[in-house]
A = this chain, B = another copy of it.
């Protein structure tokens, strides 16, 4: 599949780009800064022995069937407003957690209750939003030899988009569960501060979650 990673120069986005390229997908790393995206893409491509392209977020989206949004929450709305025309007709996987630094281990509910709900409101019907990938450690993603001991919870109001996204997420080497309507992103996003709280207790090790009994 042709995948755009919006904000692909960040740690989490870079880790996904790496694993998807490794799994045989065509990956386009986007950034507000084209030169930075090109450099990051070249470095990631070299690390994985595959061709990864880089450029502006607009070019990355234009070249893709499915896009992943991996930017800090402070840039979330502005990035989506800018890319809204380019994203029409594509699926968006939103991995954003609405953290409020420096209090990153306490739940912060944004005005729209969840970043993914805010994304869907900005993008409208032309772009179904899937919320997912909020709990997987960037460090683990970037290490291809690391078996990721964390399940992914994914939700959307569009079942076709959800299936497409879940299939792609499984190619990262994780189990992925359909946890219902996009509104349930409130639960997925707000769980991340709790895991960050636990990470601190673990002195830097990254905790994750698993669904049992399924």
Contacts and interface: CB of A to CB of B under 8 A. Distances in A.
A178 interface: yes
A183 B107 contact: yes
Contacts of A201: 178, 214
A186 B105 CA distance: 13
A109 B105 contact: no
A212 interface: yes
**Number of copies of this chain in the oligomer?**
2
A178 to B, nearest CB: 7
B210 A206 contact: no
A109 B111 CA distance: 13
A106 B193 contact: no
A88 interface: no
Contacts of A214: 198, 201-202, 205, 207
Interface string A173-194: 0000111110110111011011
A199 to B, nearest CB: 9
A197 interface: yes
Contacts of A191: 187, 191
B198 A207 contact: no
Interface in A122-179: 149-150, 153, 155, 177-179
Given A187-B194, A198-B214, A208-B211, 20 more contacts: A106-B180, A106-B183, A107-B183, A109-B109, A109-B113, A109-B186, A150-B212, A150-B213, A179-B198, A180-B193, A180-B194, A184-B190, A184-B194, A187-B191, A201-B214, A207-B212, A207-B214, A209-B209, A210-B210, A210-B212
Interface of A: 105-107, 109, 113, 149-150, 153, 155, 177-181, 183-184, 186-188, 190-191, 193-194, 197-198, 201-202, 205-214
